Structure formats: structure tokens, C-alpha cells
Amino acid sequence: MVSAPSSAPRPDSALVFPQDFLWGSATASYQIEGAAAEDGRTPSIWDTFSRTPGRVRNGDTGDIATDHYHRWREDVALMAELGLGAYRFSLAWTRIQPTGRGPAVQRGLDFYRQLVDELLEKGIQPVATLYHWDLPQELEDAGGWPERSTAERFAEYAALAADALGDRVKTWTTLNEPWCSAFLGYGSGVHAPGRTDPVAALRAAHHLNLGHGLAVEALRGALPSDARCSVTLNIHHVRALTGSDADADAVRRIDALANRVFTGPMLQGAYPEDLLKDTAALTDWSFVRDGDLARINQPLDFLGVNYYTPTVVSAADGTGTHTADGHGNSPYSPWPGADDVAFHQPPGERTAMGWAIDASGLYDLLHRLAADFPGTPMVITENGAAFDDYADPDGRVNDPARIAYVRDHLAAVHRAIGDGVDVRGYFLWSLLDNFEWSHGYSKRFGAVYVDYPTGRRIPKASARWYAEVARTGVLPGA
């Protein structure tokens, strides 16, 4: 049996959040912008990947996506209507620096300048993420994240973005979910660029870490002293299938590959010794140079935490596979050096992604992070769920399952805050239905329904519900 989760019951009465708690929603550039070849933008690895037959469901691409590039005023108006205090978005690297090198393209920067100005005019705090998986294809052609030069190019890009937007944007995130970039992009190949080399995945993880550290240095050098710098990690909450010592060791191994490969260097200045030992048959980690760890270990103003579902593992016994980890189907594993670990579907209700719904995992995760990294504030930078939403004949979209999911997870956050865990905000994923990576347009995470043929936006019932929570800071009972 899976080890019992901590209790995180649904609230039966209203819960009041701290007055300064930040309420927002989030998106990513490739998932919403479209305008794939406009105003100087060149292909990213996701343009190439999505246009490769068989890579994305139904052959979908982000060429148009939700057409946010042309409809951004309408989308900001929606945010204002929903009373969001903040909007977390990502910059498209190839829109700003098409080749990943050289000077910025002002037309690309102008798009983000206009977007940020509109947000500020509506009283919405802009939160900019530098990298949400869309590496310039030219840099991938030169070796991509497994190569050190990509980290150096990333720092140059960070400086360009900060110079252009730093007078308007006060909160910056370097990377979004570098685990996905490294291990799904270069290990299992289910994400762009679609490579399947476990050593390349580990090299990519290090150079993403280094890119983060160099980017924070660049941001600090270009931004006002009151600016905030962060990183967003999809920390896996890993549970054992049974209470056996072998399953406990499986948890340790996956925790090292999923979490500590990033939190170790970024927050503690060292790679975990057990990670190096577990992967020694693959690499000697000689790509880590003297001084790298000090540059990666930059002071952060907060840690961004993305959470959707827990992960259940055991020692391999023939009853589970790596494809049960919820990260897509591939004959290649995203877990280098962990072929003797099996993944299992957690029990309970599931979202349209097949992910178990378990808010106790978020509560437990927040407590673990608070214990491991005392004094580090946290923000939930993504949390949400995909369901099979549709517009009824009257043009309404009712999504009670999403309301229940978000309510339960917010209750877990509230409970953690009550225990003294320093959580300062929550960003609902996502503002809009959008291009869901290798799933194409088949999965809907948005609080706002998008009719893709027309681009029409329809706020779902969950959007109205979340707007009231954001406006009042009060989570209603079940």
C-alpha cells in the first residue's frame, strides 16, 4: 500500500488568507502567443518539435495557439475583470533574440513593453519568467543545454530583458521547471528537442543550473535594488509504495533526480553525493567546473513551487514502469541511473491528464521545503488541473471539478501557512486554455475557455469562483 498521506481535508468553513497574499494566474509564451514568424521571431525547439510528424497529438503546433500576440489587450482586460493581483508570463527568447546571440530585436521587446504597461495600468503586477522551455533552435543546433555555451548565452539574454523591462517588472524568474527541460527534453524525448541520451540529460541539468546562476547575476546587475529574483521548480512529492527499505531507497533515488539535482546546487551550493554515486556509471560529472557551484548558489527572494500530483515509486518488481510517472509515454526513461525504480499510479480521482488528485501532497511538500530550506519564502507558481471542459448551448462552461481541485489545494496552502510555512502567493495554472505541449490542444487547463476556431474567450465557472477568492482573500467552505 502507498504510505498514508497527511490529512488535508476539504474546508467546511471559510478560510481567510493573509491580507498581503498574492493572487494571480500564469501562462507560457509558446503555449499562448502564436505569431510564430512575426516581427523577427525565429523557430524555437518547440516550433521544430511540434512540426515534426508524430511528436504532438493531432499534429498540433503553437503557430497560432490562442493568438495572445494579437489579443493581449483583450486578455489583460479579462485579468482585470477577474481581479487578478499578478500575472506570471514568460518571454519568448526567439522573439527578443532570434538566434540566441547578439542584440535584441526591439519589435519583440516592444510587445512585452506594451503588455507590461497595460498590466500596470490595470493594477496587475507583472511577473516575468525568462525561460519556459522555448530554446532558440540555433542554440540547440549548436548543442543545446548539454553544452556550457548555452548557459552563457542565457545570461546574455537575461541582461537584455532586464535592461529593457527592469524599470517596469519588479519580479523575475529565471527558469520554469528545468527538470522538464533536461529530463523530458534530453532523456525521454517526449518534450523538445526530443533527444534520448541520459548523459546529455544530466549535462543539461547542470548547465540549466549554471544558466540560472549566471542569469541571476545578470539580473542583479541590471535591475533596481528592490527587484526580486526567483526560480520555479516542479518539486516532485515522492512517496513509497510500501514501507519496505527497498521502496524507501527508491524514493531517495528519485528525489535526488527530480528535486535535489536542482535544489542542492541552487539553494545549498552542492550536488548531493548520492546523486553523483547513483549516476557514476553514466558520467563522472567532469562537466562541473571549479567555481560553477558558487555561481549557481545565488541568493533568491523566493522559491517558485509548481505542484499538480504526487509521485509513487517502489523498487522494481515488474508491476510498474517509468511510463507511470505521468510524464508521457516513451521507451526511453527520463530517470538516468534509476532503471531499477518502478512508478505507480496513485489511487483516487484523476484529472484529464490521468494525474491523481491529492492536495495532501502539496501540504506535505510545503512542509518538507520549509524544513529543508528554512528562511526561504515560497510562492505557488503553478497549480491547476485539466478537465474535459465544453461550452453548453447557452455558451457557459461549468467546471465544478476544477473548483473542487483548486479549493482543496488552496486549503492545503492555508493549512501550511497556519503551521508557520512562509507561502506568499498562488498562481492558478492556467489563465487560458492553450497548447499543452505534446498533448496539443486536447487538454484544457484554463480558467478561461478558448474556442480555438474563433479564438473566443469564455470565463469558466472556476474563473468567476477564483475571482471572488482573489478579491476577498477568503476561501469558501465546500
Phi, psi (rounded to 5 degrees) for 169: -100, 125
Q: From the candidates 118, 147, 382, 436, which is the catalytic residue? A: 382
Q: How far apart are CA 264 and CA 257, in angstroms?
A: 11
> Is 436 a residue of the active site?
no
CA 420, distance to chain mean position in Å, is: 25
C-alpha cell at 359: 492536495
Q: Which string of DSSP letters, residue by residue, matches 370-404?
A: HHHSTT--EEEEEE---B-----TTS----HHHHH
Task: Burial-class residue 178 by CB neighbours within 10 Å (0-12, 13-18, 19+).
Answer: buried
Q: How far apart are CA 407 and CA 277, in angstroms?
A: 41
> Is 81 a residue of the active site?
no
Do 355 and 301 meet the contact criterion of CB atoms below 8 Å apart? no
Number of other residues whose CB lies within 10 A of the CB of residue 119: 23
The CA–CA distances, whole Å, from 234 to 83, 96, 281, 342 equal 26, 26, 26, 20
User: Which residues are CB-neighbours of 49 under 8 A, at least 6 positions away?
Assistant: 55, 56, 191, 192, 193, 194
Q: How far apart are CA 365 and CA 375, in angstroms?
A: 16
Q: Which string of DSSP letters, residue by residue, matches 142-196?
A: TT-TTSHHHHHHHHHHHHHHHHHHTTT--EEEEEE-HHIIIIIIIII-SSTT---
Q: From the candidates 33, 177, 273, 349, which is the catalytic residue? A: 177
Residues taking part in catalysis: 177, 382
